[in-house]
Structure 1
Amino acid sequence: MIKFFRHIRQRLIRENSFSKYLLYAIGEIFLVVIGILIALQINNWNDNRKTERDEKNFHSNVLVDLQKDEEKLKYYEHFHLKRIEYLDTLLTYVRNPQKTMGIEKFGKYVEPIFYTSNPTSYSTTFDSAKSSGAFNEFNEKELLKELAQYYADFVLIENTFESLTRFVENQYEPFMYQLPENYMTAETGALVINEEDVDGFYQKIASVEDTRNISADYNSLLRAPKMENYIIGDLGRSYNILGKIKSRQQVAKKLMHKIKNND
């Protein structure tokens, strides 16, 4: 093709036809410009295809992360619903002195209250795309804003979980340590909800025989005003956490629905 145009140019020069040569030169420039524009268009098209592919992959991976979040939130919801159930049972016995709980039942219901949860957020896909600058090329800006807000709001979950943990450590544990822990048996942890296996711990405690003959006076602890104050404080924090969990679940469902519809 280059040789072809060179031959035409040389022939026009030999013929000394300036007007034809000028017309040819303009035509050649026009063809070069058209070629450049076509090349740029192809390049833009390829870039757009890559961006679309990257954004679609991002949506797919974020959807997986949100589904993991959803499963984790279900666990947190179950954990705190059971916590509220145990606290409610304890409060019933606190406010009804005529009811006898028994040391083994007392142990089963007070033991789960020692446990709290540490929140986890699956934000790897979002954080990675954000740090790489990929968001600048994505089209779904409104979805990105909603995802950014969703992950930023995780701090609300963290704060409420930490509040309960501090409350347990600073109020419940020191209060309960007044009571000898020889009330624990292999069945004491039966109501405990925890992501790690705790059966071995309670079996180990139960396997060590206690020959001290120390009586665990749980009734005096159960009837103490501080126990009622603690239960109500824990209930308040647990309901607060439950509200935050349900709110986050709703946002996660909305985001998943939006991503599925976009794809």
Structure 2
Amino acid sequence: MIIFFRKIRQKMLTENKFSKYLLYAIGEIVLVVIGILIALWINNWNNQRLADNQTTNFLKNIKEDLVSDTLEFDLRIDFYKEFIAEKKKLLSLSSYEKINTDSLSVLISATYALYEINNTTFTKVTNLGISKLSENDELSKKIYNYYTIELKTFSEYINWEKEATGYEGRYWSNFQNEYEFIIDENDEFPKFQDSITNRQNLIKLITEPKGRNQILLDYYRKKRILAKYQEMKKISSELINEIVIGLNTN
């Protein structure tokens, strides 16, 4: 093709047809420019297609991360509901004489069920400098809010629960000097209190103001942690639905 155009150009020059040659030269330049523009358009189109595929894959992976979150939230919600219900039942009693020692020990059990939000995919997105995950600006904003604002607040709740429960565990096992813990009923270590005295000391521990306050603080904190897990499940579930709609409309 290049040789063909070159021959035409040479023929025009030898025949002294300058005006026709000028028009031809302009036409040739136009064709070159059009070719370049087409090549750029194809390159841009291909780059955009690759970028769209990448963001689509990220959205799908974020959806899977959110599904994982909701399943884990469900487990923690079940745990805290059961734990709170048991403590509420025991706290509502005015006498513990008819409650067995194992049940009473629930009141001083320092336990929690923590979870860290799965932000694996979002971390990859931020490391790549991607600021928009969807043509739907509102959806992109909600995703970024979930992994920044919501994650930060949720982490603060989790750290609060971890630190406070840790303190309570140390209080019941180390700071009080009345109830002798029985770690394993089958151990062969000597007991320095008989079971009746130990039980009476446990009842004293959980009915006096200092011990009662520890139990109440734990109970009300657990309720707030439960509410936070429920809130996070609601947010993540709604976000999953919006991502599914966004993927189906692309």
What is the aligned partner in structure 1 of residue 186 from structure 2?
207
Secondary structure of 2:118's match? coil
Does the CA-based 8 Å contact 1:51-1:138 persist in structure 2? no
Does the CA-based 8 Å contact 1:157-1:241 persist in structure 2? no
Q: Distance in 1 between matches of 2:35 and 2:118?
A: 47
Calculate the TM-score normalised by the size of structure 2: 0.87
Larger RCO, structures 1/2 (Cα 8 Å, 6+ apart) = 2
Tell me, yes or no, if structure 1 residue 58 matches structure 2 residue 54: no
Deviations 1:111-153 (A, max 9, x none): 6x31123321111101111111233686343322211111121
Q: Cα offset for 1:81?
A: 1.1
Change (3 A) 1:98 1:26: closer
One-letter amino acid of the counterpart of residue 13, structure 2: I
Q: Cα offset for 1:168?
A: 2.4
Does the CA-based 8 Å contact 2:96-2:203 persist in structure 1? no
RMSD, matched Cα:
2.0
What is the aligned partner in structure 1 of residue 103 from structure 2?
105
Does the CA-based 8 Å contact 2:69-2:118 persist in structure 1? yes
What is the aligned partner in structure 2 of residue 118 from structure 1?
114
Q: Structure 1: any 5+ residue segments left out of the alignment?
A: 185-204
Change (3 A) 1:166 1:251: same
From 139, 146, 156, the counterpart of 1:150: 146
Change (3 A) 1:149 1:136: closer
Moved over 6 A (4+): none
One-letter amino acid of the counterpart of residue 116, structure 1: Y
Q: Structure 2: any 5+ residue segments left out of the alignment?
A: none
Change (3 A) 1:232 1:85: same
What is the aligned partner in structure 1 of residue 227 from structure 2?
243
**How many residues are aligned here?**
238
Secondary structure of 2:185's match? helix
Calculate the TM-score normalised by the size of structure 1: 0.83
Identity of aligned residues (%): 30
Does the CA-based 8 Å contact 1:76-1:245 persist in structure 2? yes
